[in-house]
Amino acid sequence: MMFDDCIYKYLQGENLSTGKKIRISCSEEEILDRTNLLVNIVRGKKIIDLGCADHLEVIDLKIRNNTWLHKRLCETAEFCLGIDINEKAIEYIKSLGYKDVLYCDILKDKELILSQNNNYDILVAGETLEHIDNPVLFLNTLREL
């Protein structure tokens, strides 16, 4: 994937934008938002949505606005297993009717993850990495699993 030269300042943290639109060189199409991109990527696939809960306080608002990533992924994927470390949020999500969600810390509960059907096509960690204390350990654990 190739980016325009101006994009590298954003990738390197020199510039910041919460609404930056980018053009990917392999496509003439402008990507309007990452949610739609992810929804299209997971269409018809078996996926894990790691960090599925978002912040408990905003789930209802995001559902109303159709911006809650987990809901959008569930609507498009063939199967979506949601995993999150926030137990209260997982319980709330279950109360909304989402059955395939799991309260789990993948760094501590490797056996629980391994006990799940591990025949998945894609792992989405859309809003996770910035919350991880040790991203290298986290990514290595994902690779092992």
Query: In the chain, how many domains are there?
Result: 2
pLDDT in tens, 20-32: 666 655 555 555 5
One domain for residues 21 and 61: no
141 versus 46: the higher-pLDDT residue is 46
What was the pLDDT predicted at 5? 72
Residues 6+ apart with CB under 8 A from 9: 15
The Cα–Cα gap between 22 and 8 comes to: 11
| φ/ψ (deg, to 5) at 123 | -115, 125
Q: Are 88 and 56 in contact (CB under 8 A)?
A: yes
What was the pLDDT predicted at 88? 96
Which structural domain range is residue 60 located in? Answer: 33-144
The Cα–Cα gap between 77 and 85 comes to: 22
One domain for residues 21 and 49: no
Here the CATH number for the domain that contains residue 121 is 3.40.50.150
pTM of the model: 0.75
One domain for residues 58 and 129: yes
Q: Could you tell me what percent of the chain has a pLDDT over 70?
A: 81
One domain for residues 14 and 53: no
pLDDT in tens, 53-105: 988 999 999 999 999 999 999 999 999 999 999 999 999 999 999 999 999 98
One domain for residues 114 and 43: yes
